[in-house]
Amino acid sequence: MIDSHCHLDHEPLLENLNEVIKRSKEAGISKLLTICTTPESFDRIKKIIITDPMIFGTFGIHPHETEKSHLIDKNYITSQVNQNERIIGIGETGLDFFYNHSNKERQIDSFKAHIEASIELNMPIIIHSRNAESETYEILKSYKSEKLKILMHCFTGSLNFANKLIELNAFFSASGIITFKNSLELQKTFKSIPLNKLLVETDSPFLAPIPMRGKKNEPSFIKYTLEKLSILKEKTNQEMSDLTTQNFNKLFNL
């Protein structure tokens, strides 16, 4: 198994990092991708990725944080990523018009800067999209000729949105949300997404899956999300583990 999206620089994961890594390995996880959200987050990630060879990282500014990071452009992003070969993706970036913690135009400008950096570096872009399906799709479609490597993180979008993104060759990461009892529509959507486009994630320390809901999430809990995805896709846990691992390694060229 590979946890394609966790935040090891967030507490309580950071202060318990050795135990978190140990439990991840015991659960059968082979790789962890710890995701950047701010410049300060990246400083922590650069220290985390040297603690164990199973850990890789990204550079990105979360849409909630774009107001504070208005000087970060494509050149800055590429310069940060080029510092370290264990930084393998761009993001978390995207659009969040649910909370609007940052100005919409600023979010869009930041999203485009991340996309253009991902094109220059030929790296996957890890996308957060909430209450912004049409805007996210139109921006991605405008770069269609560039053959983007797209990963829709913690995908909770509509089936229509998923189908349009599949035309752009996007990958989709299932989080613990697919285990929630009220996520029937999302479960139907994941049933329809092709097997070769699926990854799994925890988004830890957030969104713990059932039966761990209410606890602080961690990578080792990914097994519950994988089990649910296996049921939805009518595969064994081992088959789904193998498939999602292959998809991750293909997307991130590992």
Structure tokens at 91: 């993001």
89 touches 120 (CB < 8 A): no
**Quick one: pLDDT at residue 98?**
81
pLDDT tens per residue, range 215-249: 999 999 999 999 999 999 999 999 999 999 999 99
Pick from 198, 150, 200: which is nearest to 176 by CA? 200
**Quick one: pLDDT at residue 72?**
83
- Indicate the class that CATH gives domain 2-252: alpha beta
- Residues making up the annotated binding site are 5, 7, 92, 128, 153, 203
**Quick one: pLDDT at residue 11?**
96
Whole-prediction pTM value?
0.95
**Quick one: pLDDT at residue 70?**
67
Distances 216 to 64, 69, 101, 204, 230 between C-alpha atoms, Å: 21, 28, 23, 7, 23
pLDDT tens per residue, range 60-86: 999 998 877 666 899 999 999 998 999
Residues of the chain with confidence (pLDDT) below 50: none
- Residues, the chain: 254
pLDDT tens per residue, range 154-167: 999 999 999 999 99
Measured distance CA(134)–CA(136) in Å, rounded: 6
First to last CA, the chain: 14
**Quick one: pLDDT at residue 9?**
98
SS (H, E, C) 117-145: HHHHHCCCEEEEEECCHHHHHHHHHHCHH
- Residues making up the annotated binding site for a divalent metal cation are 5, 7, 92, 128, 153, 203
